[in-house]
A = this chain, B = another copy of it.
Amino acid sequence: MTGRGRKKGEAIPQGVVGRLPVYFRYLSELAALGVDKVSSAQLGEALDFTAAQIRSDLSYFGSFGQQGYGYNVAELLQQVRQILGMNRRHSLVLVGAGNIGKAIGSYEWFRAEGFVIEAIFDVDPHLIGNIHGGCAIRPVSELKQYLLKRPSDVGIIATPKDAAQEVCDVFVECGIKGIWNFSPAQLDVPDDVIVENIHLTDSLLRLAFRLNEREQRSGF
């Protein structure tokens, strides 16, 4: 029931962390379709991983399958949820109510999974007071004061690059430990603060690189 118990305390490799949400996403789909069992071989086939890798990944956290049967979809999904820390509510604050901010703020899935945006901030005086996803937009000058009264789990940065580090500093000062950064800035934070970046430009450039590589390969 404990799986790879000997590894307790060891950090989980990046690769594993990266695949867990993929497992979650696919198991959710299977559950929604009413599928009730799945084997590591089937998961691997669908997600383009090897079966061994999936079993090895899961074994960092426990033993969730049954020999000769595979995994119960609902149960494994619940376990993955647990592993990802989804079984508690997370409070988020969002800074930046431009297009990206609005996109994030209106993603219903987040709220449904317990990631609740509690407040939205922006510098633009024209936006202040507007309601978005049930939240009034507040002036960013009040961010610090707000956070000191109502601590938050995650701070979202959806500002232009130039404002990003400044906002980040306020987050850190107010005790936020998780930052979700949509700006192209490379944020500087203390060791105990976790930053997850969505760098759109990096993503597009990786695509451009691979397109280019592909052309060289076939083109001539």
Contact = CB atoms under 8 A, between A and B. Distances in A.
Nearest to A209: B84
A22 B199 CA distance: 10
Interface stretch (A36-44, A96-104, A135-143, A165-173): A96-104
Given A99-B102, A115-B204, A196-B206, 15 more contacts: A18-B202, A20-B205, A20-B206, A21-B201, A24-B205, A25-B199, A100-B100, A107-B200, A110-B201, A154-B207, A178-B210, A192-B214, A194-B210, A198-B198, A198-B203
Nearest to A90: B208
Interface of A: 11-12, 17-18, 20-22, 24-26, 46-47, 83-86, 90, 98-100, 102-104, 106-107, 109-110, 115, 153-154, 177-178, 180, 184, 186, 192, 194, 196, 198-214, 218
A214 B115 contact: no
Given A196-B206, A203-B180, A84 B212 contact: yes
A51 B154 CA distance: 32
Contact of A106 (B99, B107, B214): B99
Contacts of A46: 186
Number of copies: 2
A202 B21 contact: yes
Given A25-B186, A204-B115, A85 B178 contact: no
A42 to B, nearest CB: 14
Contacts of A211: 85, 90, 153-154, 177-178, 194
12 contacts: A21-B203, A26-B186, A84-B212, A86-B208, A100-B100, A110-B204, A115-B208, A154-B207, A180-B203, A192-B214, A194-B207, A196-B206
A206 to B, nearest CB: 6
Contacts of A90: 208, 211
Contacts of A85: 208-209, 211-213
